[in-house]
Amino acid sequence: MRHLKTRTAALFAALALVAAVPAASVDAAPVASHQAVAAKTCSAGYTHANLSWGEKCLRAGQFCKKDANAEYHRYGYHCKRDGHLRRR
């Protein structure tokens, strides 16, 4: 009799596990479809830029990389000879 109870309990446990798997996969699907949000936001007066060396908030007067002018130009800035940004 004891062997029958153990088998019955194991059967119910297996059925509960099988029934729970589809419910878990249905709940997980909508979570995976959320879109990513920009990681960095800039204050007023700054321009958000995705540069090759990372995300930056650009503003006139900041230090800049003189050899990266093409990247700054995409966001409306120019790196002057003195190494500071200015609006184009």
- In this predicted structure, what is the pLDDT of residue 88? 87
State pTM to two decimals: 0.53
Residue extents of the structural domains in the chain:
47-87
Distance CA 88, CA 85 (A): 9
- Bridge-partner residues for 51, per DSSP? 54
Distance CA 34, CA 74 (A): 29
- In this predicted structure, what is the pLDDT of residue 41? 87
Question: Digits of tens for pLDDT over the chain (88 positions)?
Answer: 566 676 766 656 665 655 655 555 555 545 554 555 556 789 999 999 999 999 999 999 999 998 999 999 999 999 999 999 999 8
- In this predicted structure, what is the pLDDT of residue 80? 94
Local structure of 12: helix, strand or coil: helix
- In this predicted structure, what is the pLDDT of residue 14? 62
Contacts of 58 (CB under 8 A, 6+ apart): 46, 47, 48, 49, 72, 75, 77, 85
Nearest of 38, 56, 46 to residue 65 by alpha carbon? 56
